[in-house]
Amino acid sequence: MDTFSPPGDCPVCGEFVPAGDTSCKSCGSCPETGWNEETAYDGLDLPDSGDSAEAPAKKERPLWVRLTMAAALLLLAIVLFVLTNP
């Protein structure tokens, strides 16, 4: 069953197909080779169904934790500087 008829964007490659053309000049698809429901989303670069396993987003530490870590590192740097310079 054909779901596309020119003019419009080719459902396979996304290039514009002018009115009256019987095939896409960019990829060559036509009603017999690809303008149907199965290929309607081929030109959209959608992820495959198996590619949906993304890494979970990292949680950001609260501000007080980041400030405490920064203060501890600064204190450590000062102590090391004092101990290494007599």
Map out the domains of the chain as residue ranges: 8-46+60-84
The per-residue pLDDT string of the chain (86 residues; one tens digit each, 9 = 90 and over) reads 446 777 888 877 888 888 888 888 877 777 777 665 555 566 666 666 655 556 667 788 899 999 999 999 999 999 999 999 87
Number of helices (H) and strands (E), helices first, in the chain? 1, 2
How many Cβ atoms are within 10 Å of 10's Cβ, its own excluded?
25
pLDDT for the residue numbered 1: 40
pTM for the whole structure: 0.37
